[in-house]
Amino acid sequence: MTSKLLSPLQGTVLSVDVELGEEVSIGQRVALLESMKMEHEVMATSSGIVEEVHVQVGETVLEDQNLISLEFKEIANNTETTAVEIDPEHIREDLSEVNERHEIGLDHRRPKALEKRKATNQRTARQNLQDLLDDGSYIEYGPLTIAPQRKRRTLEDLIMNTPADGMIAGVGEVNGDLFPEEKTQCVVMSYDYTVLAGTQGGQNHRKKDRLFEIAKRWELPVIFFTEGGGGRPGDTDGMQVAGLDCLAFGLWAELSALVPLVGINSGYCFAGNAAILGCCDVVIATENSNIGMGGPAMIEGGGLGTYDPKEIGPMEIQRLNGVVDISVKDEEEAVQAAKKYLSYFQGPISNWDCQDQKKLRHLIPENRLRVYDVREIIEVMFDTGTLLELRKDFGVGVITMLARVEGRPVGVIANNPSHLGGAIDSDAADKAARFMQLCDAFDLPIINLCDTPGFMVGPEAEKTGLVRHVSRMFVTARSTSVPTCTIVLRKAYGLGAQAMASGGFKFPLFTIAWPTGEFGGMGLEGAVKLGYRKELEAIEDLEERDKTFQTLVERMYEVGKAVSMADHFEIDDVIDPMESRRWITRALKAASPTEPRKGKKRPMIDTW
């Protein structure tokens, strides 16, 4: 009885591994074929004695062509050949090379770089990412890249000294402990200041392009550590003159209003790195940060003088002018702030607590002229420990915070009566308008806490372009689609009050007031002075004139107090302050979207 050993595919015979008369066991290799540049072993499917070999080396065979004929014979101790047992712990040479390349870029292999960071009280890029990301969740893109400088440096030098081309990037999970069943994947990126001063090289530009595209396609938030010196002039391997056709900045800008963009900086951040930072929704910076659109070399090259990098964009400037949203001590605090910020855009949480709401009854003084701290009201009204204030030191007439109510994330805009009596100036209006865009882009309801005498007035205020700046609040509010709620704490006068109510008291989901609320087309005192000027001037006795003035103010207050507004239905209700949370939660449940947002609602979020 004869059996045939057939070719499993079309190919060329590289070797015939048996001879006539040879005993063959099941599983023994009898020939080796090549097909499409790949080698294929032909194994015996039966045992026996080689009766005839039908092919020779170099011959092309077809699928199912007979290669070898066997005369059946029971072979002594014939057992099917088994695969060679492999030690799973064994590291092959090719894997060893890959492991070594990955190891080179890790902190423990770069002790000098690590010491430099310790000397400046800073962490390495990898230490920051390790702190930011959930354990075991990170996969890195492009860790084996090197600086494109092969024309001026050896490959060994580049491998050892330019790991990842100064850009560490990948995908990982953030806040998985808060949202165990929710999507917590993020794109994370960090310039590595220990590699060529964190400059933007050819390969790390391509790496940014790659990760930005991933963030766009899968709508993943991006957290970006931006420390570095901007564009790198020393790359030699590309075919370019100025490199102005790179895609990174355009791709990065396209992500605005699609996904949350979180920028973190520690140390120097100049030029291209600063442009990346400036496009972020939120800028978190440590106290040692210097941020500027040009570093010392660019300034000197422009003939503008010689400066130390610490003179350029220090934090005492960038906090006050609004460039920095959240100021922190160090990178550890920065990472925690980033995680907290991102959490508001990851959804509601189930565990929450709040203070005794009866406290709200007593936080506004009975004396209507006495100032108070509106932050205390916000701390009591919203969930405990959930407040995060943005741009605290800029536009201080308005306070903007992220918060939660019964675990649901919201944005809070509040007038600050401790500054200009709560009047809204240019900076405050810009701050509020931009915050509205941020909340709207990512579906956060907006809670307005109103206590304002209106927009700031006067010749000095007009020098700031007030007319244009404050009008941003109206056009921005009317472009949003998220629910807005307005609670009047005390003063609600004129156009400023309307701006705090999305353009007018009937536009918000509700407009309510506390018993301390007072309303008017303008401030009561000003209205009396203008409306009763002739009558007051006719009173010659100054003491009597002042008494009459106060009487008229009190009369106007009675007309414009909250209860009067409510009985004319110009507002929806006057409530016990302790009921504020109940109004917010009930109204927002009624206005909850039926489906999650997909794609962009807004073309972008204004960087300013």
Residue range 411-452, pLDDT digits in tens: 999 999 999 999 999 999 999 999 999 999 999 999 999 999
Confidence of residue 266 (pLDDT cuts 50, 70, 90): very high
Cα of 369 vs its chain's centroid, Å: 41
Please report the pLDDT score of residue 592 as a whole number.
Answer: 80
Please report the pLDDT score of residue 522 as a whole number.
Answer: 65
Report if residue 44 sits inside a domain.
yes
Please report the pLDDT score of residue 395 as a whole number.
Answer: 97
Reduce the DSSP state of residue 32 to 3 states and report it: strand
Q: Is residue 274 exposed (0-12), middle (13-18) or buried (19+ Cβ within 10 Å)?
A: buried
Report if residue 388 sits inside a domain.
yes
Report if residue 58 sits inside a domain.
yes
Q: Which of 290, 308, 343 is the last residue of a domain?
A: 343
**289 shares its domain with 230:** yes
Q: How many domains does the chain have?
A: 3
Quick one: CA dihedral 64, 70, 71, 73, positive or negative?
A: negative
| Rounded Cα–Cα distance for residues 595 and 200 (Å) | 40
**57 shares its domain with 178:** no
> Residue 447 phi/psi, 5° resolution?
-105, 115
245-to-206, 236, 248, 314, 592 alpha-carbon distances in Å: 12, 16, 9, 31, 44
Please report the pLDDT score of residue 573 as a whole number.
Answer: 97
CATH of residue 279: 3.90.226.10
Report the percentage of the chain scoring pLDDT > 90: 73
CA dihedral 523, 529, 530, 535 (to 10 degrees): 150
Report if residue 330 sits inside a domain.
yes
The DSSP secondary-structure symbol of 549 reads: H
**331 shares its domain with 361:** no
260-to-194, 265, 266, 432, 600 alpha-carbon distances in Å: 27, 17, 20, 18, 11
Helix axes 331-343, 125-132, angle to 10 degrees: 40
**328 shares its domain with 193:** yes
Confidence of residue 536 (pLDDT cuts 50, 70, 90): confident
Instruction: Say which residue, 550 or 268, is predicted with more confidence.
Output: 268
**487 shares its domain with 511:** yes
Please report the pLDDT score of residue 472 as a whole number.
Answer: 96
| Rounded Cα–Cα distance for residues 304 and 27 (Å) | 80
Sequence-distant contacts of 31-35: CB under 8 A, at least 24 apart = 31/5, 31/55, 31/67, 31/68, 33/7, 33/8, 33/9, 33/61, 35/9, 35/10, 35/11
Q: Is residue 309 exposed (0-12), middle (13-18) or buried (19+ Cβ within 10 Å)?
A: middle
Report if residue 605 sits inside a domain.
no
Sequence-distant contacts of 553-560: CB under 8 A, at least 24 apart = 553/524, 553/525, 553/528, 556/520, 556/524, 556/527, 556/528, 557/368, 557/518, 557/524, 560/518, 560/519, 560/520, 560/524
Q: Which residues of 356-367 are buried (b: 16+ CB within 10 A; e: fewer)?
A: ebeebeebbeee
**24-33 tens-digit pLDDT:** 989 899 999 9
**39 shares its domain with 125:** no
| Rounded Cα–Cα distance for residues 203 and 164 (Å) | 8
Please report the pLDDT score of residue 457 as a whole number.
Answer: 87
**442 shares its domain with 580:** yes
Min mean pLDDT across 5-19, 87-101, 322-336, 373-387 is at 87-101
Please report the pLDDT score of residue 83 as a whole number.
Answer: 54
Q: Which two tokens stand for residue 103?
A: 């190891």
User: Rounded mean pLDDT of the chain?
Assistant: 91
Cα of 241 vs its chain's centroid, Å: 33
| Rounded Cα–Cα distance for residues 411 and 476 (Å) | 15
Min mean pLDDT across 133-142, 237-246, 311-320 is at 237-246
Q: What is the DSSP string of 190-246?
A: EE-TTTGGG-B-HHHHHHHHHHHHHHHHHT--EEEE--B-SB-TT--SSS-SS-TT-
Q: Which two tokens stand for residue 312?
A: 């350029």
No. of helices (H) and no. of strands (E), the chain: 20, 25
Min mean pLDDT across 59-73, 327-341, 522-536, 586-600 is at 522-536
Label residue 571 left, alpha or beta by phi (over 0 means left) and psi (-120 to 50 means alpha). Answer: beta
Report if residue 534 sits inside a domain.
no
Confidence of residue 524 (pLDDT cuts 50, 70, 90): low
Mean pLDDT of 247-276: 95
**219 shares its domain with 304:** yes
Element spanning 326, H or E: strand 326-328
Identify any residues that bridge with 276 across adjacent strands, giving them in sequence order: none
Report if residue 166 sits inside a domain.
yes
**332 shares its domain with 425:** no
Beta strands in 64-196 (DSSP E): 66-71, 139-141, 167-173, 185-191
Please report the pLDDT score of residue 256 as a whole number.
Answer: 96
**157 shares its domain with 121:** yes
591, pLDDT greater than 80: yes
Question: Model pTM?
Answer: 0.87
Q: What is the 3-state secondary structure (H, E, C) of 130-153?
A: HHHCCCCCCEEECCCCCCCCCCCC
Report the percentage of the chain scoring pLDDT > 70: 95
Reduce the DSSP state of residue 337 to 3 states and report it: helix
Q: Which of 343, 372, 392 is the last residue of a domain?
A: 343
Please report the pLDDT score of residue 200 as a whole number.
Answer: 87
**184 shares its domain with 37:** no
Domain of 53 in residue numbering reads as: 2-71
**36-89 tens-digit pLDDT:** 999 999 999 888 999 999 999 999 999 999 999 998 876 655 555 555 677 888
| Rounded Cα–Cα distance for residues 110 and 106 (Å) | 7
Min mean pLDDT across 138-152, 234-248, 416-430 is at 234-248
User: 480, 446 in Cβ contact below 8 A?
Assistant: yes
Please report the pLDDT score of residue 598 as a whole number.
Answer: 81
Length of the chain: 608
**198 shares its domain with 64:** no
Report if residue 541 sits inside a domain.
no
Q: Which residues of 383-412 are buried (b: 16+ CB within 10 A; e: fewer)?
A: beebbbbbbbbbbbbbbbbbbbbbebbbbb
350-to-178, 277, 411, 583 alpha-carbon distances in Å: 9, 33, 18, 19
User: 45, 97 in Cβ contact below 8 A?
Assistant: no
Quick one: CA dihedral 582, 586, 587, 591, positive or negative?
A: positive
Confidence of residue 247 (pLDDT cuts 50, 70, 90): confident
Q: Which of 293, 313, 343 is the last residue of a domain?
A: 343
